Amino acid sequence: MEITEVRIKLVKNTDDRLKAFCSMTLDGEFVIRDIKIIEGEKGYFVAMPSRKMSDHCAKCGYKNHLRARFCNSCGASLPDSREKRNSQGRMKLHADIAHPINIKCRQAIQQKVVAAFKEELKKSTLPGYVPADLDEPDDEFPENIS
How many domains, in total, are found in the chain?
A: 2
- Could you give the percent of the chain with pLDDT greater than 90? 58
CA distance 58 to 54: 13
Boundaries of domain holding 105: 1-49+97-141
Contact 91, 81 (CB under 8 A): no
| Residue 130 included in any domain | yes
**pLDDT for the residue 104:** 94
pLDDT digits over 95-117, tens only? 888 889 999 999 999 999 999 99
At 123, which CATH number? 3.30.1120.40
pLDDT given for residue 133 in this prediction: 78
Residue 143's pLDDT is what?
54
| 146: in domain | no
The pTM (predicted TM-score) of the whole model is 0.71
**93 Cβ neighbours under 8 A, 6+ residues apart:** 52, 53, 65, 66, 67, 83
Q: How many CB atoms lie within 10 A of CB 17?
A: 13
Same domain, 29 and 101: yes
